[in-house]
Amino acid sequence: MQVQTHVDIHSEWGIVAARQAGRKLAREIGFGSVDQARITTAISELARNIYLYANKGQIQIEEVTVSGKRGIKIIAVDEGPGIKDLRRVMEDGFTTSGGLGAGLPGVKRLMDEFDIDSEMNAGTSISAIKWLR
C-alpha cells in the first residue's frame, strides 16, 4: 500500500505536523536516524518557505518505489507569488532569510533528487526524493 499524507501549512503548527508525518513514514520505510533527521529538516525548510513566502500551501509525503528502489518523496505546493530567479535561489550563499547553508540548496543537498517549478503570480511546486540505501 502506498502511503500518502497531506499536511496544510498555514501556521508553524503545520510545519511541525509535516515533520512528524515525514519522520513517521521515513522510519516505517526503514531510514536510519541520520537520514530521518535529514528528511525532516528538508520538510521543515520547504514548509517554512511556504509559511514565510506564500502564506498557504501544502506538503505531500509519500512512499515511492521505482524498479525495486524504495524511497520517500516530499512535494511542496503553494499558490504564492512564485520565484522570479530560480537560478539565483539555487545558488549557495544566496538567502533571504539569513540562514547558513539552509534554503533550497540545503534541501537539494539533504535529498537525492530535487525538482522545482515556479510561475510568477501562480505558485511554486517543489518535489524531492530520498532513496533508501
- Residues that bind another protein in the complex, under the rule CB under 8 A: 32-34, 37-38, 40-41, 92-93, 100-102, 105-106, 109-110
Q: Shortest distance, CB of residue 69 to another protein, whole angstroms?
A: 17
Minimum CB distance to another protein smaller for 92 or for 119:
92
| 112 burial type by CB count under 10 A (0-12 exposed, 13-18 middle, 19+ buried) | middle
- Conformation bin of residue 123: beta by default, left when phi > 0, alpha when psi is -120 to 50: left
Minimum CB distance to another protein smaller for 4 or for 96:
96
Strands 113-119 and 69-78: unpaired
Q: Shortest distance, CB of residue 29 to another protein, whole angstroms?
A: 18
Q: Shortest distance, CB of residue 110 to another protein, whole angstroms?
A: 7
Angle between helices 103-110 and 33-49 (to 10 degrees): 150
Minimum CB distance to another protein smaller for 30 or for 32:
32
Cell of 56: 498557504
Q: CB atoms < 10 A from the CB of 74, how many?
A: 25
Q: Shortest distance, CB of residue 94 to another protein, whole angstroms?
A: 11
Minimum CB distance to another protein smaller for 37 or for 56:
37
